[in-house]
Amino acid sequence: MNYNRNPEGKGGFKKGESGNPSGRSIKSLEVKALAEDYSLESVECLVALMRNKKEDSRTRLAAAKEILDRAVGKAAQAVELAGKDGADLATVINLTLKSK
C-alpha cells in the first residue's frame, strides 16, 4: 500500500484551493450540540461514580481523573527529543542538512 499521497513533495493543493471545501459537516455539528445537551448530566454521573464507596477503586479513580482533566486540563507531558543513540538533536539535524 502506498500511503504517500504527495510523492513529488510539491504541495497537496493548488494555490487558493481548500483541503476541505465543504467545511465541517452538518452531522458533526448536530452531534456536538447533542453532546452539549448531556454535558451537565455526564459530569454529575462522574461525580456520583467518584463518590460511590461501593464502586471499584479503579472506576472511582478514573471518574476523578476525568473530572480533573475537564476542570484544570490534562497534566503536561515531558517530551525528550534526541537523535539516534541519544545524540544531540541539533547536531543530527545539522549533519542531515549538510549531507543534502
Residues in the chain: 100
71 alpha carbon, distance to own chain's centre? 17
* Residue 5 and residue 12 in contact, taking contact as beta carbons nearer than 8 Å: yes
Q: CB 21: neighbour CB atoms within 10 A?
A: 7
Q: How confident is the model at residue 92 (pLDDT cuts 50, 70, 90)?
A: low
Kindly state the average pLDDT of the residues 68-85.
83
pLDDT recorded at residue 1? 46
Query: Residue 31: pLDDT above 80?
Result: yes
- The predicted model scores a pTM of 0.52
Kindly state the average pLDDT of the residues 31-38.
92
Query: Residue 4: pLDDT above 60?
Result: no
Cα dihedral across residues 14, 16, 20, 21: positive or negative: negative
Q: What span, in angstroms and rounded, lies between the C-alpha atoms of 14 and 64? A: 48
